[in-house]
């Protein structure tokens, strides 16, 4: 899901829309996501819509280069 990339005020609505349209086979994933990421963890902590760097690719690349040199 790309929920972390949406503006903060649109995340809950988008999740509800996705939940309504999800196939039955994915229902456990949506229940887990709702119970943990939507209710226990603040949206501000995992939403990256207003950040310049939205991924950890820079960090992963540094670790990869470091591991090769070591």
More confident of the two residues 52 and 3: 3
Q: Which pair of structure tokens corresponds to residue 30?
A: 């949506």
The whole-number pLDDT of residue 57 equals 84
- Tally of domains in the chain: 1
Contact indicator for 14, 3 with CB cutoff of 8 Å: yes
* Domain containing residue 48: 3-68
Q: How many Å apart are CA 62 and CA 3, to the nearest integer? A: 26
The whole-number pLDDT of residue 35 equals 97
In this prediction the pTM is 0.74
Closest CA to 33 of 55, 12, 64, 54: 12
Residues 6+ apart with CB under 8 A from 56: none
Please determine, for residue 38, whether its predicted confidence score (pLDDT) is greater than 90.
Answer: yes
């Amino acid at each position: 899901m790309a929920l972390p990339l949406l503006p903060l005020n649109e995340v809950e609505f988008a999740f509800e829309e996705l939940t309504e349209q999800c196939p039955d086979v994915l229902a456990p994933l949506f229940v887990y996501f709702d119970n943990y990421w939507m209710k226990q963890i603040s949206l501000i902590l995992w939403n990256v819509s207003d950040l310049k760097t939205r991924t950890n690719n820079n960090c992963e690349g540094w670790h990869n280069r470091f591991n090769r040199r070591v």
